[in-house]
Chains A and B, each alone.
Chain A
């Protein structure tokens, strides 16, 4: 399944490799479902990330809000979306970042919205 599906262009599936690779990032993000963890993240983000054993590379991707890189490192959007609940970011901006497009272009070209102005 995963090998066949890997042939669909620009479409990473969250398979065994991704699940293993992204486990720590996803576990850190999952924990943001708890209010106390959200407070800890806001108070000292790096210390919070360290407490989940993230690598330097993983930490920098999270702290830079580099959504494209977080997904490449195995972050699954449903988990890492919780970061956007703590530090508000519209999902369409996360989508645009992965598509490497400007937000307005993404809304128009991918989602079919009319351009503003």
Chain B
């Protein structure tokens, strides 16, 4: 069986990628943010995963409103970065973990999920930025990817409980996979931010810091929260945090919080990460 070697949570703010593109890493605005990720990058170098499962949402780049999948799973050979309006970015394409991805689709449907299955599709900053934060800018990514898209744009978005249930199926898929790959799971999005309406710019540092600890030690309250609770506490776009629950549910009940980092604001967002390992 394949092995889950870690669960990571991270923001995926597009300005992070833009800052790297423009060489702003060491400017006063960005240095504290990127410095805090160095321990995460080192953890990743040591962990040597074969497959990265990336749970993220598209931001009106790959999916338009003509068809909005609540959950979509990639089974493609290759995922190219999508043009988000600024032109193509100089980062490598992502190689898909094709067979494992189909296995996950099989498991999902067996367990009564109904995902959209995508064979030819591009990926936006929701996947790109977490990969850059943990793997840097290699000439080729050292892992294959399994992308999972969650709709967090158009309501109704899925419930936190449903994201949790998907994480349970993800774990089952990893443990029933005949290969011996080392798998890391990235739950992405958040932390608190709101881009729309008169409350735009809302950041809740106290709730964000509580989240980074609570997602490790006591995720139950976050699983039980409503979508409205997420919007109220973390802002309308901060509700993306429900995607971390897919990662968390795939891990053991007891995990060790190996690293955490928080910085606000990154652009208009409370931003940060956790690195979790299953407790023995």
The interface of chain A, by Cβ under 8 A from chain B, is 1-2, 4-5, 8-16, 19, 23, 26-27, 29-30, 32-35, 38, 71, 76-79, 81-82, 85-86, 91-92, 94-96, 98-100, 106, 110-113
Q: Tell whether, in the assembled complex, residue A8 and residue B228 are in contact, meaning their CB atoms are under 8 Å apart.
A: yes
Q: B33 within 8 Å of A by Cβ?
A: no
Which residues of A lie under 8 Å from residue B199 when comparing CB positions?
Answer: 9-11, 99
CB-CB under 8 A for A111 and B268, given A4-B228, A26-B60: yes
Sorted nearest first, the 8 A-B pairs with minimum C-beta distance are A110-B201, A85-B85, A10-B198, A78-B60, A82-B85, A10-B199, A98-B200, A15-B155
Distance (Å) between the CB of B18 and the closest chain A CB? 10
Whether A100 lies near B198 (C-beta < 8 A) is yes
B194 at interface, CB cutoff 8 A: yes
Interface residues of B in 66-109 (CB under 8 A from A): 82-87
Query: Among the listed B82, B153, B200, which residue makes an inter-chain contact with A33, where contact means beta carbons less than 8 Å apart?
Result: B82
Q: Is the CB of A19 within 8 A of B60?
A: no
Asked if B195 and A1 sit within 8 Å, CB to CB, the answer is: no
Task: Give complex CA distance A8, B155 in Å.
Answer: 15
In the complex, the answer to whether A95 meets B268 with C-beta atoms within 8 Å is: yes
B154 and A113: CB pair below 8 A? no
Q: How far, in angstroms, from A16 to B80 measured CA to CA in the complex?
A: 31
**Quick check: B265 and A112 within 8 Å, CB to CB?**
yes
B29 CB, min distance to chain A CBs, angstroms: 9
Q: How far is the CA of A71 from the CA of B199 in the complex (A)?
A: 13
Q: How far is the CA of A85 from the CA of B18 in the complex (A)?
A: 12
- Is B156 part of the contact surface with A, judged by Cβ < 8 Å? yes
Instruction: List 21 contacting pairs A-B, 8 Å CB cutoff, sorted by A.
Output: A2-B155, A2-B156, A8-B231, A12-B196, A14-B154, A15-B155, A26-B65, A33-B61, A33-B83, A71-B196, A76-B153, A78-B59, A81-B60, A82-B84, A98-B196, A98-B198, A100-B198, A106-B201, A110-B200, A110-B203, A111-B265
